[in-house]
Structure 1
Amino acid sequence: QIGFHQHFLFQILTLTTSLHSYRHKQTHLPLMNSPPAKSRNLNGAPTALPVLLDELISEILSLLPVKTLMQMKCVCKLWKTIIFDPAFAKLHLQRSPRSTHLLLIQNWSNPNEGLDCSVEPYPVTNLLEIPLRIGRFSPFYTYRDIDAIPVDPHYRLKNLSCWQIVGSCNGLLCLLGGSCATKNHTTWLRLWNPATNTLSEKLAYLTNFCCRFAFGYDISTDSYKAVAFSANKVKVFRFGDNVWRNIECLPVVPFALEATRLNCHPFVYNGVYVSGAINWLAIRNKINYEWKDITVDQFVIVSLDLGTETYRELLPPQGFVEVPPVQPSVTVLMDRLCFSHRTKGTHFVLWTMMEFGVQESWTQFLKISFQNLRIDHGISDSLPYGSQLFLLPLSSCERSNTLIIATNQEGDVFSNQRAILFNWKHNRVEQVTSFYNDILWFFTKEYVESLVSTCPKTTTSTSNTYGVIDG
């Protein structure tokens, strides 16, 4: 149902469109034995009313959510033309509030059928408005329980011939799929817009290239790019050109997921996109190393500018003075680069880079005690890797002073993922439970609904190729 605000806009829109249609007919209505008369203002100059009406219609439409626009595109030809205009998609994205949704990943995997997950764009406001409940055995334990989420077959990655979300940017999801049907291992990428329910064909094929992927937006060329990277090779794929290109190798190798002895975060390895660049956490001058041998000055953030396709190294905040028990995390909060880490047994600390690329702009956002997070103070920093405590910031809502954190408080990082809502104004923590849904919280990503097309514009003559290359 359309809310009062949207209904009011709809009434104005209908009236404006009627005026537009009337002016269009008046302008093009021929008089007997005479050319069409031009509309004039009081001074005798032609009026720009039709143009103004077009702009007004676009302005009103840009204030409506994507779901409503998808319903309204069938109302008249004019609205449909505007809604599918790439320039309008940009305007609508600029007007849309950022990070309004979380992409909840539900696990439906069956040991006999392989990996299978579904994606649910879940409004952050809905999460914060779930009725608060009090624990049965402790009045200090409060939680919000997510009801069973219906599964849309179109939102199951398996039905999209993919198994993983590489990244989310401007309402587009970059999906990764692959096949081992032959002796050659082949991977591909697809662009998916859940809000408009549009999906690209399989693109960016790679054969026998063991790598990880990242995804982001090149502001300088108004294009979307995927990055395939390994320790000694980096490739860039520009959607629209559909060709993989080799670029300079990473100056520092990012944390290796396979090296579990390193206390690396098991789910933070694709890199994060912010301000036109993809960013990874890495260790200087080391490839094979033990966690106990690392020093603070070896930590570095490697940043790849998607416009120039060049690297630079960013240092962690100056307040980061001791090696934490487990790998720190580089994420994005409030459209800013975020660096977060545990201290030894006492706090969870978050820093944000207020001006991207400016070292001096690192600012401590929050320092939350384990007591306020209701985490056991006696947790051991020397637990086995699979039992270590990991905390990953997912999203923050300034209006409600709430930080959403993924955690594995029960000690099993792979099967007991939970979410915490922490109100930093009142130092209040609430658990998020989901009895009916197996949500993979560490894979959750921020998401904004948009009209951005999954078929980016072609920029070179190579657009008809699929970019199938060997690693």
Structure 2
Amino acid sequence: MAAQHPTAALLLCEVVMEILSWVPAKPLTRLKLVCKSWNSIISHPHFVKLHLHRSPKNAILLLTRTQALNLGEEGKQSTLLSSVESFIQNPSSALDAQENRHSLQVQDWVSGSCNGLVCVARILRHPNNGICDICFRLLNPLTGFISENSPCLSVNVHNAFGFGYDESSDSYKVVTLIRDSSGTVTAQVYSFGGSSWKTINSLPAFLYFAEDINGHFIGGTLDWLGLRNPHGAYYDWADVTLDMLMIVSFDLKSDTSKQILLPKGIDEIPTQEPILGVWGNRLYLLYDYKNTHFIAWQMKEFGDENSWTQLLKISFHHLGVETLLFPEFIFENGNIFMLIGRHRFERVFYDRRDHSVKRVNFFSNNRYVNAFDYVESLVQPC
């Protein structure tokens, strides 16, 4: 048989790459075994980026679950993947599925997900002195990739975390915010594959909320909602004023921060701490109003403070509850909201397209559930 012409071989390789780039990530892990040439194509960094670019977004959830064990024992933690559609239709079944489940250690905390990678913090607390050692690693639940641990940090327990991707340097970064007793906030930044942390001292003095310590990744930034210039490490929400609320946005490319203003239409302080959310590359602000309504604002163009739009104002009466519902997650480009109900195990789903309400009780052994937007990928950083 005559040898194949180099140009024809190159063209065939490009055709195969084009076809494979549209195949879902999970089958690709098996297609790598077909032959050496396919393994070479699928493993190539250019193909991995092309495939990630073409992968469906906002279709999969990464769920973290802490399962109660016997009295006196610490909870068993795990992560699992679920399609958004399956989770909305039957959350309890999705949480009990054994496929795509990965066990975590008790000391582990999922601090974010980006491009198919999950950032996991391991926190070891020192007894009685308020100090903990913390290190981070990356894992890809689909491929089984696990990175080396970052260097450890010894920090106080009042920390916030964030994980994201810096496209300019093609690097994945984790940020730890550290606030000392004087109110000064510093950022420790680590690029995976590096050997040390970088200290950033230019952040404004603010206090991040204990219920929302994971930074929200959007537009190359990590974003936290907090209080401007609080006195001490704690606060009484009854003393908080509207002008104290602020969004701090940390740019992963420049390692600089700026403040983003809240919507101008907010005229009084919410009953409880508001939270941020991200879905479909848009930022959301979620809170209650007078303990009678749930309100959601959407920033249509990230970074443009004039693009804040009130997306939703729904009464608790319509949702069938009399007490405050804590917002937890957003689906379908701001059309479906998941809220924590009267107790930790109840979730309320509200679809603003047809105004339907669905109330779901998780099994009692699911003590704690958290959700992250996720995309299946073949990414395995150096």
Shared topology, TM-score over 0.5? yes
- Counterpart selection for 2:74 from 101, 114, 118: 114
Summarize the alignment of residues 214-363 of structure 1 with structure 2, pairs less than 5 Å apart.
214-231=162-179, 232=184, 233-257=186-210, 266=211, 268-288=212-232, 289-363=235-309
Contact kept, 8 Å, 1:283 with 1:299, in 2: the verdict is: yes
Separation of aligned partners in 2, 1:393 and 1:181? 31
Separation of aligned partners in 1, 2:121 and 2:257? 24
Q: In the alignment, is residue 392 of structure 1 matched against residue 327 of structure 2?
A: yes
Separation of aligned partners in 1, 2:32 and 2:330? 32
Question: Once the 2 structures are TM-superposed, how far is the Cα of residue 436 of structure 1 from its aligned partner?
Answer: 7.4
Q: Secondary structure at the match of 2:213?
A: coil
Question: Once the 2 structures are TM-superposed, how far is the Cα of residue 362 of structure 1 from its aligned partner?
Answer: 1.0
Question: Once the 2 structures are TM-superposed, how far is the Cα of residue 299 of structure 1 from its aligned partner?
Answer: 1.2
* Residue aligning to 1:464: none
Summarize the alignment of residues 159-170 of structure 1 with structure 2, pairs less than 5 Å apart.
162-170=107-115
Question: Once the 2 structures are TM-superposed, how far is the Cα of residue 252 of structure 1 from its aligned partner?
Answer: 2.9
Q: Secondary structure at the match of 1:70?
A: helix
Separation of aligned partners in 2, 1:185 and 1:255? 18
Deviations 1:320-371 (A, max 9, x none): 1110100111110221111111101322111111111111111122222222
Separation of aligned partners in 2, 1:294 and 1:448? 38
Q: Taking structure 2 as the reference length, what is the TM-score of the superposition?
A: 0.89
Separation of aligned partners in 2, 1:153 and 1:181? 33
Contact kept, 8 Å, 1:225 with 1:236, in 2: the verdict is: yes
Q: In the alignment, is residue 447 of structure 1 matched against residue 369 of structure 2?
A: no
Q: Secondary structure at the match of 2:48?
A: helix
Question: Once the 2 structures are TM-superposed, how far is the Cα of residue 52 of structure 1 from its aligned partner?
Answer: 2.7
Deviations 1:367-418 (A, max 9, x none): 2222232222xx3xxxxxxxxx3422413125xx8414131x22x4xxx233
Deviations 1:41-73 (A, max 9, x none): xxxxxxx43333222211211111111111111
Separation of aligned partners in 1, 2:26 and 2:320? 39
Question: Once the 2 structures are TM-superposed, how far is the Cα of residue 109 of structure 1 from its aligned partner?
Answer: 4.2
Question: Amino acid of the residue matched to residue 275 of structure 1?
Answer: G
Contact kept, 8 Å, 2:32 with 2:42, in 1: the verdict is: yes
Question: How large is the Cα RMSD of the aligned pairs?
Answer: 2.5
- Counterpart selection for 2:355 from 420, 427, 430: 427
Q: 1:448 to 1:436 in 2, by over 3 A?
A: farther
Question: Amino acid of the residue matched to residue 178 of structure 1?
Answer: I
Separation of aligned partners in 2, 1:153 and 1:354? 33
* Residue aligning to 2:21: 62
Deviations 1:13-39 (A, max 9, x none): xxxxxxxxx9xx623xxxxxxxxxx57
Structure 1 residues not aligned, in runs of 5+: 1-21, 28-37, 40-47, 131-143, 258-265, 380-388, 457-471
Question: Once the 2 structures are TM-superposed, how far is the Cα of residue 281 of structure 1 from its aligned partner?
Answer: 0.9
Contact kept, 8 Å, 1:284 with 1:299, in 2: the verdict is: yes
Q: Taking structure 1 as the reference length, what is the TM-score of the superposition?
A: 0.73
Separation of aligned partners in 2, 1:186 and 1:435? 33
More strand by share: 2
Question: Amino acid of the residue matched to residue 314 of structure 2?
Answer: I
Separation of aligned partners in 1, 2:116 and 2:214? 18
Question: Amino acid of the residue matched to residue 374 of structure 1?
Answer: G
Larger CA Rg, structure 1 vs 2: 1
Q: In the alignment, is residue 74 of structure 1 matched against residue 33 of structure 2?
A: yes
Q: 1:114 to 1:179 in 2, by over 3 A?
A: same
Summarize the alignment of residues 62-141 of structure 1 with structure 2, pairs less than 5 Å apart.
62-110=21-69, 111-130=71-90
Separation of aligned partners in 2, 1:154 and 1:360? 42
Q: 1:274 to 1:331 in 2, by over 3 A?
A: same
Structure 2 residues not aligned, in runs of 5+: none
Question: Once the 2 structures are TM-superposed, how far is the Cα of residue 151 of structure 1 from its aligned partner?
Answer: 4.2
Q: 1:92 to 1:419 in 2, by over 3 A?
A: farther
Deviations 1:122-143 (A, max 9, x none): 111212444xxxxxxxxxxxxx
Separation of aligned partners in 2, 1:373 and 1:344? 15
Q: Secondary structure at the match of 1:446?
A: strand
